[in-house]
Structure 1
């Protein structure tokens, strides 16, 4: 699969073909704009190639139109991946270096993405009503709190690696009380043990002293 910034060669093989065969290429980008890269053949019209620079992530449509012998049209769809994020957007509570030391091994190649998602989970499910000192970007200023948040998101990434990022064993979370670590899962009377959250995430937050981190009493469900 190409990534943004790649310049790939689009290829079309025509059969039957002869000296009258001509192929042209219309490229529709994901944003709806179009371009007509130059198509050439080095074998008298059987194989046609054109260079397509992929400048946007998304689904690209390549439409070959053949005239002369072998006439017809052939659409092709190409899925283009975005470049891996170089800088994080939003609050991210751990770096890939911290994750590597936490895991005691090389982190996965999508570690930056997983840390972003784990940080968003921490924000939405555990920190929405919590009280702790922050800077202008909303990041914790106390070193002990920052370390606990980093440990929490690293634990969640490790948990996802073991059970799957979207794993839901026990049903939706209905309530959490960090002070006494009370969890309620399932719907109605269908309650069971933890599913969405790493147990080590809860322990990392519970380890913080009350004068530095005051959690929400009850968090929202999923």
Structure 2
């Protein structure tokens, strides 16, 4: 799958073909903008190419029109991904890097590691960290190195959990055991479920282990009563 900014060569092979064969290309971008790149052939009309730059994420439509011998109309849909933004989640803080995840796993992280870290950071922000107290920087990141490391490891634990259950969105709808972090209590599902009740939409058991480390007792409050000052 191409990313935004990729420069590619669109290609069409025509059969049959001869000197009368001609091909044109119309490109429709995801925002509806239409362009007509210059096409050319270097083998007498069999293979036609055109330079193309993907400037937007989304689905692009490539429409070839062939006239003369081999006359036809060919359409192709191309899905273009956004430019990866390392360390910057969609509208929120990200507490761990792909290097942190690789070290936590003791193995190479998945190719979608950054997206998973973004999602895990948002999940912990809303379900755990919003109920915690700890010192932060002007950007809202933990200022104490021990707290920053613990939260980063908790995020990695959530990603590792998703890897274990094979689901990061809740689509699989599997059950899981009880987890309690501070004032956040999560019960066990005994049947296949979906949405927020699935294992993927709940906190990994290891998240509590990372945030309850003894050296954090005077630096991090979990929920209302879990960790005293």
- Tell me whether the two structures share a fold, i.e. TM-score over 0.5: yes
Give the alignment of 1:35-50 within 5 angstroms.
35-50=35-50
Query: Quick check: 1:178–1:217 contact (8 Å CA) kept in 2?
Result: no
2-side partners of 1:96 and 1:9: how far apart?
Answer: 32
Q: Does 1:4 align with 2:9?
A: no
Give the SS at the match of 1:170: coil
Extract unaligned runs of 5+ from structure 2: none
1-side partners of 2:70 and 2:145: how far apart?
Answer: 70
Give the SS at the match of 1:128: helix
CA RMSD between the two structures? 3.0
Give the alignment of 1:25-174 within 5 angstroms.
25-89=25-89, 90-164=92-166, 165-166=168-169, 167-170=172-175
Q: Does 1:203 align with 2:209?
A: yes
2-side partners of 1:149 and 1:11: how far apart?
Answer: 48
Q: Structure 1 pair 97/71, CA: closer, same or farther in 2 (3 Å)?
A: closer
- The aligned residue for residue 181 of structure 2 is 178
2-side partners of 1:18 and 1:124: how far apart?
Answer: 64
1-side partners of 2:29 and 2:179: how far apart?
Answer: 46
Give the aligned length. 212
1-side partners of 2:183 and 2:73: how far apart?
Answer: 66
Q: Does 1:17 align with 2:20?
A: no
- The aligned residue for residue 223 of structure 2 is 216
2-side partners of 1:205 and 1:170: how far apart?
Answer: 23
Query: Quick check: 2:87–2:94 contact (8 Å CA) kept in 1?
Result: no
Q: C-alpha displacement at 1:147, in angstroms?
A: 2.0
2-side partners of 1:181 and 1:4: how far apart?
Answer: 40
Q: Structure 1 pair 146/28, CA: closer, same or farther in 2 (3 Å)?
A: same
Query: Quick check: 2:179–2:205 contact (8 Å CA) kept in 1?
Result: no
TM-score by length of 1: 0.81
Q: Structure 1 pair 217/156, CA: closer, same or farther in 2 (3 Å)?
A: same
Q: Structure 1 pair 176/217, CA: closer, same or farther in 2 (3 Å)?
A: farther
